[in-house]
């Protein structure tokens, strides 16, 4: 087998404009970051790409934010506002603890779409759940950040935004490693919790934080809303 053919076979598909091109009217991509961390908000981004697409060099930087190196993520996030409409939405730690992380994620995405200066006709959303009361129609795409260019772009700007926020918190609350772990439950973060205690930015509805505080592992189920309140639709692949 030719070496070039082997490389082509191993190369993973990149996100494309397939889903945007299948739609009519203005389309935004939506993704969120920060569901799993023990501290900090969940952040969503909504982004509308230009009708003619992005420059080739910028497109090459865009992929699922989890696999794009930090330097390329930050370069893409810095360049995208020159070409796109972008809006961010957050759900705070207090909201996460009050309505649970699922609904907080839906809330952040709804706020991001509502904040766009141009009203979209369709939101392409990563995952298989649609937030209620969006200002437009929605299409869910499982693994959308690896398939859909506007969702991938949203995942990048959302991650860069949240990472920067957590680095800022790290200056106010040193010792938890937030400048590098951005709130995830890493060894250095847990060591900081054990040594320094819990901050106002820790999610008290999350099991490791609850255990540290001596609270029951699971909150009282009667205090939590059903996760079926938002629509879970069949994904379009």
Residue ranges per structural domain of the chain? 13-167
What pLDDT is stored for residue 91 in this prediction? 98
Structure tokens at 84: 């796109």
In the sheet that holds 137-141, the strands lie side by side as 85-91, 42-48, 27-33, 122-126, 137-141
Q: Which CATH superfamily is domain 13-167 in?
A: Ribonuclease H-like superfamily/Ribonuclease H (3.30.420.10)
Other CB atoms within 10 Å distance of the CB of residue 44: 34
d(CA 137, CA 217): 38
Verdict on whether the full-model pTM lies above 0.85: yes
Q: Is the pLDDT of residue 116 over 80?
A: yes
Percent of the chain predicted with pLDDT > 90: 84
**Are 28 and 124 contacting, i.e. CB atoms less than 8 angstroms apart?**
yes
What pLDDT is stored for residue 179 in this prediction? 98
- What confidence tier does 10 reach under pLDDT thresholds 50, 70, 90? low
d(CA 224, CA 64): 31
Cα dihedral across residues 158, 116, 126, 12: positive or negative: negative
d(CA 32, CA 168): 19
Angle subtended at Cα 232 by Cα 105 and Cα 222, rounded to the nearest 5 degrees? 65
For 153-189, letters b (16+ CB in 10 Å) and e give bbbbbbbbbbbebbeebbeebeebbbeebbbbbbeeb
Strands 122-126 and 27-33: parallel
Strands 85-91 and 122-126: unpaired
- What confidence tier does 11 reach under pLDDT thresholds 50, 70, 90? low
Give Cβ neighbours of residue 147 (< 8 Å, ≥ 6 apart): 13, 15, 16, 18, 19, 141, 237
What are the backbone dihedrals phi and psi of residue 202, each rounded to the nearest 5 degrees, phi first?
A: -85, 145
């Amino acid at each position: 087998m030719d070496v070039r053919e082997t490389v082509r076979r191993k190369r993973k598909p990149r996100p494309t404009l397939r889903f945007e091109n299948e739609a009519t009217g203005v389309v935004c991509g939506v993704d969120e970051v920060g569901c799993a961390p023990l501290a900090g908000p969940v952040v969503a981004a909504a982004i509308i790409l230009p009708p003619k697409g992005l420059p080739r060099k910028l497109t090459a930087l865009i992929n699922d934010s989890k696999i794009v190196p930090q330097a390329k993520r930050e370069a893409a996030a810095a360049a995208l506002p020159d070409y796109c409409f972008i809006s961010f939405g957050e759900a705070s730690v207090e909201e996460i603890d009050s309505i649970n992380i699922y609904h907080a994620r839906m809330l952040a995405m709804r706020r991001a779409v509502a904040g766009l200066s141009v009203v979209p006709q369709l939101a392409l959303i990563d995952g298989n759940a649609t937030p209620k009361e969006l200002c437009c129609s929605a299409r869910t795409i499982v693994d959308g950040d690896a398939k859909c260019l506007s969702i991938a772009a949203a995942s990048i700007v959302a991650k860069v935004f949240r990472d920067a926020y957590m680095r800022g918190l790290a200056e106010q609350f040193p010792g938890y490693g937030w400048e590098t772990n951005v709130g995830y439950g890493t060894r250095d973060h847990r060591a900081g919790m054990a040594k320094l205690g819990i901050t106002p930015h820790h999610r008290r509805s999350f099991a490791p934080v609850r255990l540290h505080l001596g609270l029951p592992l699971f909150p009282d189920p009667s205090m939590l809303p059903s996760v079926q309140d938002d629509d879970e639709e069949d994904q379009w692949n």
